[in-house]
Amino acid sequence: MKITPHEPFGADVSDIDLRGLTPDEAKALVDALAEHHVIRIRNQDLSRAEYDRFGRHFGQPIDFFFTKDLDPDFPALITISNSPDHDPGRRDGASFWHTDGSYEYVPGAATMLYAIEAPLTGGETIFTDLTAAYEALPQSMRDRIDGLKARHMLVGGKRGPDETPIKLDPDAEDRDGGVRARKRAAERPVHPLVITHPVSGRRSLYAVAGTPFAIEGLDDDEGQALLDELKAHAVHPRFNRAIKAEAGDILIWDNLATLHRATPIEYSAEDGKRRRLLRISTQGLPPAYGDRPPLFVAPEGHASIKLS
């Protein structure tokens, strides 16, 4: 296995066949993700069963909103595509800065995309390094935000003029996720603005865009101003990197150390324009580090609403 770091962050992984992954290699990939925040594993040829098995090295797979996108045999997998059959309400729905699952009590830990088809142009995901962003803050700002907590909601975060607008009505026909989105939007989890990564031990901003709408202990205006300031700092181009999954690649990112956003794409079934990916997202700690305390815990008695 060869790991090739890139600047300012991220790494490519080559010379490995995930079909024969050993426990030591699996841990090395988990460690590489914690170190580099985004890894792209090149030139794989996995069945859905093999991909499903691989994803579990990074945590417990989660359920998704869109049951019609779920693989009937492997419900941890959903298909993401730019098919022109997609309804307009779901097109480019991830083209805004966010952290996967930050609107849940136990948010997403890792997300991965296995590219079955990739367009000749376009299809990049843009990432920003929240560890580097935290480390670049003035000490006075670090002292101010350490210990503060933000309240999150599925449709809570304010989006900028270059981001996909928020669909505020969870009951609208074109609202992503339908009834499950409405149920998830009813949750108001509270997460720290700064976390310590459970694998790397490094401090990082957490989920400062997409879903936070208030900061506990601050009035509405002061809280929103602080969220605006942290987001503007975190998504500055000096902390960004665009990465594309080509056919056969598995692109994995660490939701505990990054924000990300999709780039708008043409919806087409033409040769050279199609994009088709299999997504897995995980929660909790990777099994290799399962003896460590969890970073997020759901309230006692909380029942998952994912498949209700």
Q: Is the pLDDT of residue 2 over 60?
A: yes
Question: pLDDT tens, 82-129?
Answer: 999 877 767 888 899 999 999 999 999 999 999 999 999 999 999 999
For 25, other C-beta atoms within 10 Å of its C-beta total 16
Specify the 3-state DSSP secondary structure of 150: strand
Q: Is the pLDDT of residue 284 over 90?
A: yes
pLDDT number for residue 169: 54
> What are the structural domains of the chain?
2-289 (3.60.130.10)
Instruction: Verify cis geometry, omega within 30 degrees of 0, for the bond prior to 286.
Output: no
Tell which wins on pLDDT, 180 or 102.
Answer: 102
- What does the buried/exposed string (b/e) look like for 208-232 if buried means 16 or more CB atoms within 10 Å of the residue's CB? bbbbbbbbeeeeeeebbebbeebbe
> How many Å apart are CA 196 and CA 67, to the nearest integer?
34
Q: pLDDT-derived band of residue 66, with 50, 70 and 90 as boundaries?
A: low
Exposed, middle or buried by CB within 10 Å (0-12, 13-18, 19+), for 29? buried
pLDDT number for residue 251: 98
Q: Is the pLDDT of residue 43 over 70?
A: yes
| 99-to-71, 128, 250, 257, 300 alpha-carbon distances in Å | 23, 11, 19, 9, 24
pLDDT number for residue 113: 98
Average pLDDT, integer, range 225-247 = 98
Q: How many degrees, rounded to 5, is the angle at CA 146 between CA 142 and CA 149?
A: 130
Q: Is the pLDDT of residue 185 over 70?
A: no
> How many Å apart are CA 160 and CA 149, to the nearest integer?
22
